[in-house]
Amino acid sequence: MRDGISMARLGIPSVALVTEDFWPQGDFTARSLGMPDAPRVQLPHPVAGTGEANLQRVASEVVDNIMQSFTAEPDHV
């Protein structure tokens, strides 16, 4: 979240990828940095260490959401 917000403030399009277990922390971080609507996409947890086939499945499920996030205008930049 912090990197995504920092990049957005620099005018660099960004989308944070956050697993469902860490989504509440992402909410807190985004609010505390003054950008509660920072673009982000939720991934299942865990992703790391689940194998290439699972990573490909997850990527195919979220790619449209990621691309849509790039067209949304973030608030509070």
Residue 76 placed within a domain: no
Residue 13 phi, psi (nearest 5):
-55, 135
B/e letters for 27-47, b = 16+ CB within 10 Å, e = fewer, are: eebbeebebeebbbbebeeee
pLDDT in tens, 10-67: 999 999 999 999 999 999 999 999 999 999 999 999 999 999 999 999 999 999 999 9
Q: How far apart are CA 71 and CA 14, in angstroms?
A: 10
Residue 16 lies in a domain: yes
Q: Residue 42 is part of which domain span?
A: 2-71
Kindly tell me if the per-residue pLDDT of 71 is higher than 80: no
* Helix or strand holding residue 26 (H, E): helix 23-32
CA–CA dist 45, 33 (Å, integer)? 24
Higher pLDDT, 71 or 77: 71
Q: Is residue 77 one of the residues assigned to a domain?
A: no
